[in-house]
Amino acid sequence: MKRVLLGMSGGVDSSVSAILLKEAGYEVIGATMELWQDNNREKGCCSSSAINDAKKVCDKLGIKHYVIDCKEEFKKYVIDDFVDCYKCAKTPNPCVECNKHIKFDLFYKKAQELDCEYISTGHYARTEYSERFGKIVLKKSNSRKKDQTYFLYGIPKELLPKIIFPLQDFSDKTEIRKIAEENGLQVAKKPDSQEVCFIPDNKYTEFLLDSLKYTPKHGNIVTTSGEILGKHKGLIYYTVGQRKGLGIAYKEPLYVLNLDKEKNEVVVGTEQELYNRELYATNLNFLLFNSLDGIVEVNAKIRSRAEEARARIIPVGENRIKVEFEEAQRAITKGQSVVFYLDDIVLGGGKIE
């Protein structure tokens, strides 16, 4: 019997994954990663209640459960990166870093220590053999509304043959909850977590002010031509595409176009100025090959909820590419990820610079 280490957050997706893996004939071991400690917080995947929920599920299903202390690694790879991005006037995506460094890379190392051949999570994604590429590839989930491959492009490609996504064939969350109910799991009606796990109540600025250890400097809000329209209260309070809360008056609606760290300025402009046809990306990870040697036509996403857009990717240096879109994209944001697809296969991605 093949042994698999399943990441369990205490939610319904990972809990049902345990049921499906057992039904498929695997020996399942559940593990909850302790990522972030906040004694005042009782919700989210990092809380003590989440660990207890996961343990109860494992007890119910008759499988072992471990708690893995990943707090040091989580701070290094996720929280510190999150804070550093804001220091550099970028908007980070901590889930991408967590998946890359913690939920797959570090988790697989823990699996090896427990003599597990595979790792598994409750993500909505697929892994399967591709005749075209002659290897196991990462593909979109059948549930396109729930598909999470945008957040998974950074995982090490050599791990793909060792990853199982039990929910890959499901297209409706109600099916998942029904399985949980049928198996008597108390988490069947537990709501999905919609917030960043280490930021209580989505209070980003409070977390950043505490982490940065300094008070953000006020500066000018300017147009692209340099006209000063007002004052901002610190770059961490703004993001590209933002319209509300700027505190300025103008003859037409204005949006944040750029955060200029060197000049400590918030650059604003019209909605039309928000659109661009190209970007540059670095910190690349390709799942189908080691590096980009020529121009490739792809579908690209510049944020998790964005529609895919036709584009071509062009190598312009070591670990750096240019992305040219057929149609201009709205609010391209530094620090976010751009992810590339060939039909439903994930080619890879990188960080927008």
* Residues identified as active-site: 98, 197
Contact between 221 and 268 (Cβ < 8 Å): yes
Bridge partners (DSSP) of residue 221 are: 230, 266
- What are the backbone angles phi and psi of residue 312, rounded to the nearest 5°? -130, 145
